[in-house]
Amino acid sequence: MISRLTGMDIANATMYDGATACAEALLMAVRISKKDKVLVHKNLNPEYLDVIKTYMWAGNIGLEMFEDLPKNTDEYACVLIQTPDYFGEIQNIKNIENTLLIVCTDLGSLSILKPPAEYGADIVVADIQSLGIPMNFGGPHAGVIACKEKYMRQMPGRLAGRTVDADGNRAFTLTIQTREQHIKREKATSNICSNQALMGLWVTLYLSVMGEKGFRQAGFLSAENAHVLADKLIKKGYKTENKNFFNEFVVITDDAEKYLKRLESVNISGGIKLDEKRILVAVTEMISDGDIELYLSNV
């Protein structure tokens, strides 16, 4: 399912979350390219970036941030770009030559947006929480890495494959195990050691029940609701920062704290406060027209 959504050849058993998936993908690119510097877009989720900084420090790997992609990226092991990014903006990503491209994406957005394979991604990472897993005190999460087949042996974690048993019946087994628990430590690609199997099962059931049509419809409704809310906020006199977005956008207000407290008074989680005047707002397919009107009447 992850391979179909991303357009990649192969996907691994899960990482802890999107943050560790990003960091492990960077290490993967360093092993493949044998270069010791990575380039990361500045609008990556800041929590992901914190984890990446720790990984890069521990691995003595140079980490550089960018806003506008340099013309020449040959010296870097990879370029990591999130789309939609942390502020909801859909990045216009073009093929990058001579450098691996890692795309961090919202899998839900791929219900209506192009798969990363179509704009040259070599490795795709994501958090699967948004695919039907309700948040519960900050979790649970799981992260995935998908890539082109030629990079398969550098993937962290485990790969399951289909085979036949002694009686010729279809069977599934672990085919590649690159974790240090399974093989010699010096040959392992990673020490990451948890498989979020329950979350993987949950998402598999969610996607199966939704089906292709339902999944696409959920993505369309999320985007439509977000754009309706953004347009109506603009008509009320607010400004938004985004030009192209899926279901998250940044609204600018005179006082972010007061804005959010007014919404909280009617049991609406109005968004994430970015600074004194900016709020990151997310809208999903679960939001009704009445919810949008209640939001608007209290800001």
- Read off the CATH number of the domain in which 270 is found: 3.90.1150.10
Give Cβ neighbours of residue 213 (< 8 Å, ≥ 6 apart): none
Per-residue pLDDT at 139:
79
Domain that holds residue 14: 2-202
Residues 31 and 150 in one domain: yes
Please give the pLDDT value at position 182.
Answer: 62
Count of structural domains, the chain: 2
Boundary residue ending a domain (202, 220, 236)? 202
Question: Given this model, what pLDDT does residue 40 score?
Answer: 98
The pLDDT averaged over each successive group of 10 residues in the chain (299 residues) is 96 89 96 96 97 96 95 95 97 89 97 95 95 86 94 85 94 77 69 79 95 96 97 96 95 96 94 96 95 95
Residue 103: how many other CB atoms lie within 10 Å? 26
Per-residue H/E/C for 236-273: CCCEECCCCECCEEEEECCCHHHHHHHHHCCCCCCCEE
- What pLDDT does 156 receive? 86
Q: Are residues 240 and 186 in the same domain?
A: no
- Please indicate, yes or no, whether residues 192 and 238 belong to a single structural domain of this protein: no
Examine the domain organization and report whether 180 and 239 are in the same domain.
no
Answer yes or no: do 21 and 150 share one domain: yes
Are 222 and 246 found together in one domain? yes
CA angle 239, 245, 251 (to 5 degrees): 25
Please report the DSSP string for 24-37 in residue order.
HHHHHHHHHH---E
CA gap 228, 292 in Å, rounded: 8
According to the model, what pLDDT value does residue 178 have?
64
d(CA 73, CA 98): 7
Q: Would you state the pLDDT for residue 135?
A: 84
Considering the domain architecture, whether residues 287 and 194 belong to the same structural domain is answered as no
Q: Does 177 share its domain with 228?
A: no
Same domain as 14, residue 98: yes
CATH code where residue 59 lies? 3.40.640.10
DSSP string of 106-168? -GGGGGTSPPGGGGT-SEEEEE-TTTT---SSS----EEEEE-GGGGGG-SSEEEEEEE-TTS
Q: What is the pLDDT of residue 13?
A: 75
Element (H, E) at 75: none
